[in-house]
Amino acid sequence: MTVQEALAEIFVHLPESRQDELLEYAQYLSWRERRESWRGFGREQFAKAYGPDEPVYSADDLLPESQP
């Protein structure tokens, strides 16, 4: 029996309120997967933009605030 078949078997025997909970949890897990995917994409893009040869900046490299 596959996981999908096992879930379907459990699902049909649950009361509707519990089916709603199971659906909400499945949606949450799907959202979490998408979030992790986007985080990975962001890390990859950041790594492309900033490599190991980036200079190290200090507070002395900041421009002083201009006075009006």
| Residue 22: how many other CB atoms lie within 10 Å | 14
Name the band, by pLDDT with cuts 50, 70 and 90, for residue 68.
low
Q: Can you give the pLDDT at residue 66?
A: 67
Give residue-wise pLDDT tens across range 20-32: 999 999 999 999 9
Full domain range(s) for residue 20: 15-48
Residue-level pLDDT at 57: 86
Residue at 64 is within a domain: no
Which structure tokens are listed for 46? 């950041």
Answer whether 0.75 is exceeded by the pTM. no
Angle formed at CA 67 by CA 61 and CA 68, multiple of 5 degrees: 145
Total domains in the chain come to 1
Q: Could you give the CA distance from residue 13 to residue 44 in angstroms, rounded to a whole number?
A: 44
| HEC readout, 39-68 | HHHHHHHHHHHCCCCCCCCCHHHCCCCCCC
| Model confidence band, residue 55 (pLDDT cutoffs 50, 70, 90) | confident
Structural domain contains residue 2: no
pLDDT at 2 (0 to 100):
97
